[in-house]
Amino acid sequence: MEIFYAKEVAGKTVFLDQEESAHCIRVLRHRAGDEITVVDGLGTMMRCRLTDDSPRNAEAEVLERTDGWGGHPYSLTMAVCPTKNNDRFEWFVEKATEVGVDAVVPVIGDRSERKVFKTERSRKIALSAMKQSLKAQLPGICEPVSVKDFITGSQSALKLICYCFEGETQRRSIEDVLREVPEGTDITVMIGPEGDFSPEEAVLAVENGFIPVHLGPSRLRTETAAVTAATAVYLHFIK
């Protein structure tokens, strides 16, 4: 099943951008009159009939709309420190999109070795993962912010921070915390860099209502911890 993404939808008309038009018309050789499946990136899937098969700006007419297509019964923001190796973060973005995530925020911590982040690359990966996994909602890939700004700005109903300070005994398992959360709760999970959060960041997070959680005994890489946390939320709510 081939999915096309339309950034622009006006009434009953969807407009494919240059890239999607080229893929639909040049690569897959669709012609005016063909039925195609289009998603708007906001949760709606539309069965459409191609009305203009221009390979630069194709247009289609909406025949049927399905809202919440491929959606998930929770709202999840993953705030993750970019990994030294970009591919590992982009792999996380792909996997989190497949499983189900609403927003990804690259957060730069005191101990982050990588301070720059290629937002556009991750957006492309999220887009193709959304289409490949038959979802209609495109996760938001935010511009990077500092861990401290993210902590003080986060408004989620449930805010979790995963860190692994040696000898830390205050943390509960993420499963344990999720058990108390009603479906549909707006959840944020923050995952630190290879060198973990700084003690100052951890204290600031707790002061701002973040609950310290652990992901079990295994010592996970940053991107693995991020996918494990997103999977824990997914598995908890799809049970």
Residue numbers at the binding site for a second copy (CB under 8 A): 70, 72, 91, 95, 98-100, 132-135, 173-176, 216-221, 224, 227-228, 231-232, 234-235, 238-239
- Closest separation between CB of residue 205 and a second copy, Å? 22
Tell me whether residue 33 or residue 182 sits nearer to a second copy (CB atom).
Answer: 182
Tell me whether residue 51 or residue 173 sits nearer to a second copy (CB atom).
Answer: 173
- Closest separation between CB of residue 227 and a second copy, Å? 7
- Closest separation between CB of residue 141 and a second copy, Å? 18
Tell me whether residue 158 or residue 174 sits nearer to a second copy (CB atom).
Answer: 174
- Closest separation between CB of residue 82 and a second copy, Å? 18
> What DSSP string describes the chain?
--EEE-SEEETTEEE--HHHHIIIIIIS---TT-EEEEE-BBS-EEEEEEEE--SSS-EEEEEEEETTTT--SSEEEEEEPPPSSHHHHHHHHHHHHHH--SEEEEEE-TT-S-----HHHHHHHHHHHHHHTT-SBPPEEPPPEEHHHHHHH---SEEEEE---TT--SPEEHHHHHTTPPTT-EEEEEE--TT---HHHHHHHHHTTPEEEE--SS---HHHHHHHHHHHHHHHHH-
Tell me whether residue 132 or residue 170 sits nearer to a second copy (CB atom).
Answer: 132
Tell me whether residue 70 or residue 140 sits nearer to a second copy (CB atom).
Answer: 70
Tell me whether residue 92 or residue 150 sits nearer to a second copy (CB atom).
Answer: 92
- Closest separation between CB of residue 95 and a second copy, Å? 6
What is the distance between the alpha carbons of residues 84 and 81, in angstroms, rounded to a whole number?
Answer: 9
CB 107 within 8 A of CB 114: no
